[in-house]
Amino acid sequence: MLDLEKRIINSRLGSVQDIDEDEFLYRLEMRVQHSQDNRNIMVSSFMMLAVVLVLTITQYGASNRSESTYFVEDIENVLETDLWNLNGDSLNNYDSYLNDMAYYLLQEGYVWETYDLLYVFEQEKEI
């Protein structure tokens, strides 16, 4: 017990350290600010995790349509860049192609070339 009493007396009689109030307030403010920053980081991390989980969960019910792009029968026009429909008959579109080609050549001013082209198409049609 005497040892404890000596410690208490020595601690009271020891030199009083000068406390810098400005430094104490600065450290306190920095500790509070770091705590708020850590809290904001934690909340944003949980929100990002929740978004990733929601996006992942919603993809489980989606159908996988990648195999259907290999079958021409399932899709009318895969890339929508073809001149005609892939399932269409080319003989039905022959006349419209011929007319479009002739109108284009006439608009460009190639009258005799258009006449020759129509003659060649007529010869191929008879064959």
Q: Are both 48 and 81 inside the same structural domain?
A: no
Q: Structurally, how many domains does the chain consist of?
A: 2
Residue 97 has a pLDDT of 74
Q: Please tell me the distance from the alpha carbon of residue 63 to that of residue 107, in angstroms, as a whole number.
A: 48
Residue 74 has a pLDDT of 47
pTM of the model: 0.37
Domain that holds residue 91: 77-126
Q: Using 50, 70 and 90 to split pLDDT, how confident is the model at 101?
A: confident
Q: Are both 49 and 89 inside the same structural domain?
A: no
Say if 25 falls within a structural domain: yes
Q: Are both 88 and 52 inside the same structural domain?
A: no
pLDDT in tens, 4-56: 888 777 776 555 566 788 888 999 999 999 999 999 999 999 999 999 999 88
Q: Are both 42 and 83 inside the same structural domain?
A: no
- pLDDT higher for 93 or 109? 109
Say if 121 falls within a structural domain: yes
3-state helix, strand, coil in the chain (%, to 5): 70, 0, 30
> Is residue 93 classed exposed, middle or buried when 0-12, 13-18 and 19+ CB atoms within 10 A define those classes?
middle
Say if 83 falls within a structural domain: yes
- Confidence check: pLDDT of 71 > 80: no
Say if 37 falls within a structural domain: yes
Q: Please tell me the distance from the alpha carbon of residue 88 to that of residue 76, in angstroms, as a whole number.
A: 9
Q: Are both 89 and 116 inside the same structural domain?
A: yes
